[in-house]
Amino acid sequence: MDFFNDKHVEAAKDLLYKMADDQLIIGHRNSEWTGLGPILEEDIAFSSMAQDKLGQSEHLYNLLHELGEADADTVAFTRNENQFHCCHLVELPIGEYDFSLMRHFLFDMAEAIRFEMLIDSSYENLARLARKFKGEIKYHTMHANTWVKQLAQGNEESKARMQSSLNETWPLALGIFEEGKYESVLKDAGIFAGEKELQEKWLTEVTALLAAAGLQIPENATPTNGGRYGQHTEHLQPLLDEMTEVYSIDPTADW
């Protein structure tokens, strides 16, 4: 990357780590619905989204490798929780279907907008991935929007469940936008316009969709921060232990 000075490289790495870790961990959580979905189509949907997100995380880890980090498998499978930069929203257990669905709705909308913003990034290799991923994530947001709207306008129980899962996930979703150490570096270099701008765009989108679904956004929520700096809930390390169990037996095995 010719245009990068050392500071730009550090800033780009920080951005890539949080994006890749979010994708890997939400992908793993989505895959936990395989075989358990409430209906066959939802089982397939969550499994497909898991596959997309794991694939996307791998390509983001490959960019980190280009910037001097270890290869994708090593980075994905050998770090401990305090080295992960994912937000708390993605690491929580799948809970009931309404929780997973609302998390998917709030997270994927943020992710779709993030990639949209990165399409014109000065970091061309990341811009290329953003252009590619955008077409895939479109199907994820389409899926989330359809179901949130349908269930929020279903019967009393489905409506109550969607509202209570929104209450639970909202502060966690605000934690997606916890600012990193390099916001101004990223912005000045034209790499990424920043978490603040992303949050504003996201808020506009989800407010309109939730209003159309008849759901109330909780007021005065405090963002659940810490994830971007390696502070996590008690749920992340067990997930990592399970995810890396086979890899740890023989890291050199050829698949």
Partner 1 sequence: MDKTTKQKISKDDVYSFLKEVKDPEIPPISIVDLGIVTNVDVDTQQNVHVVLTPTFAGCPALKIMEDLVKERLEKEPNIGNVTVETSFEVTWTTDLISEEGREALLKHGLAPPKQNVGYMELDVLSDTACPFCGSRNTDLKSPFGPTLCRSLHYCKNCLQAFEGFKPV
Supply the minimum distance, in Å, between the C-beta of residue 237 and partner 1. 25
CA distance 174 to 95: 19
Q: Is 69 an interacting residue with respect to partner 1 (CB under 8 A)?
A: no
Q: Is 136 an interacting residue with respect to partner 1 (CB under 8 A)?
A: yes
Listed residue (209, 177, 172, 214) closest to 192, CA to CA:
177
What single DSSP character describes residue 69?
P
What single DSSP character describes residue 221?
P
Task: Kindly write out the interface string for residues 113-132 of this chain, putting x where it contacts partner 1 by CB under 8 A and - elsewhere.
Answer: ------------x--xx-xx
Task: Kindly write out the interface string for residues 22-61 of this chain, putting x where it contacts partner 1 by CB under 8 A and - elsewhere.
Answer: -------------------x--xx-xxx-xxxxxx-xx--
Tokens coding 228: 């971007």
Supply the minimum distance, in Å, between the C-beta of residue 73 and partner 1. 13
Supply the minimum distance, in Å, between the C-beta of residue 230 and partner 1. 26
CA distance 165 to 232: 21
CA angle 49, 215, 162 (to 5 degrees): 50
Contacting residues toward partner 1, per CB under 8 A:
41, 44-45, 47-49, 51-56, 58-59, 125, 128-129, 131-136, 138-139, 142-143, 146
